[in-house]
Chains A and B, each alone.
Chain A
């Protein structure tokens, strides 16, 4: 049981990191960034080009943050005042472009990525042994979630980001230039997705569609947590990760595990249409 819960938390770590970025971007920009999964995939592939895993862990998020900010300023920003469908189409188109670029450069086969040196063994927790790399992934995810929590809840920047994420129009009307924070937040969200991609590389098959596989589940996670709710997205990610691992283990069915997230989403939406921690959109 503990082994399965642990595996679920590790799976939830990837969901949490990607969902965290997606929730922050949606909250502040009201943009459903369909390219977020592709950015996660780019993170994994960029890691292949780095001299080592440790360099990748630092450089890839920085590269993707910069790329994300350029993307926001040059494309996403221009569509902000139009129907949200335009940005959905834009980010969906970007996903296809990123995937094809990677297929062109690396091919369609999965590319192996070795477990980084020093994290190849296992860690003894008394009754259980857990693979060291998975413990590292969970610790990193916990550390980053804590860091983001600290930034958001204990700093002035976090106060502004929270307010802007929850009610951008009202926050703007209170004298805060929400637009000034949009580009860095978009870059930050991309960095988190890229970091998740780097962490996923040694554990999961690195292939051009790895982001497409993940992003659908992440969308469900964000909806369950409550669109735009940062805490809700992280909590839902870990809960879904554990539920998937337990259903795979005890029901012995990958299919049930895959369907489970959508069942949970349906039940949550019937019970609370705005998600577990979301709030109803206020009238104009």
Chain B
């Protein structure tokens, strides 16, 4: 499904990622752990085509090197950004109709899964609570019928009830064969959805497990 090989990326002089290689199979939830500033968001942005990189990112064996971010999105890559990506000038309903795919969730299914979004469908997205904004960001990607979801800390700042709801949505997506690359600092949450773990530190990545002592020490858990 997703294969990242020897990926390196820099911000000007500062090299953030060095030869990162990792993979995620169909229907797998792969969690990427690491401290703040380790380069987790940078990696997701590279996969989305929002940052230049060297190395190879491929989806189902097809190299995405020459694909712009909108083309990657159309190929099935969905981005749930860390700031939740809300539009101040769009209502909830408009946000959910920006990009719709026949493989994506119908609007009614989204509203059934997220009743709050239905209740607030005419509100500006920025008027929603943090949890509702997160649901909107997830719902938007589900509407697109993405096969690969890049979720950047989707539980950050959410109440335990909402964290549970995010988990349920990710598990539901996974059951339908959607692959999730999850950047997450909340290991307890990650353990409820993840199949594989990677630790990103000093710009390099290595496989890990949630009970890896080195990982726990590194994250200060």
The chain A residues found within 8 Å of chain B, CB to CB, are 159-160, 162-163, 165-167, 169-179, 229-231, 279, 282-284
Contacts and interface: CB of A to CB of B under 8 A. Distances in A.
Contacts of A230: 89
A172 B70 contact: yes
B68 interface: yes
Contact of B90 (A159, A169, A172, A175): A159
B73 interface: yes
| Interface SS of chain A | helix
A166 B125 CA distance: 13
B37 interface: no
Given A162-B90, A163-B87, A171 B68 contact: no
18 contacts: A160-B98, A162-B89, A163-B87, A166-B89, A166-B90, A172-B50, A172-B68, A172-B70, A173-B69, A173-B79, A174-B73, A175-B73, A175-B144, A176-B99, A177-B68, A177-B70, A229-B89, A282-B83
Contacts of A173: 48-50, 69-70, 72-73, 79, 81
B87 A166 contact: yes
Contacts of A229: 89
Contacts of A163: 87, 89-90, 98
B88 interface: yes
Nearest to A277: B88
Contact of B85 (A170, A175, A177, A178): A170
Given A162-B87, A172-B68, 8 more contacts: A159-B94, A163-B87, A171-B98, A173-B72, A174-B140, A175-B73, A176-B99, A231-B89
Contacts of A177: 68, 70
A159 B98 contact: yes
Contacts of B144: 174-175
Interface of B: 45, 48-50, 68-70, 72-74, 79, 81, 83, 85, 87-90, 94, 97-99, 126, 140, 144
Nearest to A174: B99
Give the 10 A-B CB pairs with smallest separation, nearest first.
A175-B73, A175-B99, A173-B79, A282-B83, A174-B99, A173-B69, A172-B69, A170-B85, A177-B70, A279-B88
Contacts of A172: 50, 68-70, 73
B85 A167 contact: yes
B69 A279 contact: no
| Interface SS of chain B | loop
Given A162-B89, A283-B83, A169 B73 contact: no
Contacts of A231: 89
A230 B90 CA distance: 13
A159 B125 CA distance: 14
A283 B11 CA distance: 14
Nearest to B52: A81
Contacts of B48: 173
B217 to A, nearest CB: 28
A283 B98 CA distance: 22
Nearest to B84: A282
Contact of B74 (A175, A179, A282, A284): A175
B85 A176 contact: no
A160 B74 CA distance: 16
Nearest to A81: B52
A163 B140 CA distance: 13
Contacts of A165: 89
Interface centre among A176, A179, A284 (most CB of B within 10 A): A284
Contacts of B83: 282-283
A160 B97 CA distance: 10
Contacts of B69: 169, 172-173
Nearest to A282: B83
Contact of A178 (B45, B70, B90, B97): B70
A185 to B, nearest CB: 15
A159 B79 contact: no
A33 B50 CA distance: 24
B101 to A, nearest CB: 8
Interface centre among A165, A174, A229, A230 (most CB of B within 10 A): A174
A150 B136 CA distance: 25
A279 B85 CA distance: 12
A270 B50 CA distance: 33
B126 A279 contact: yes
Contacts of A171: 98
Contacts of B88: 166, 279
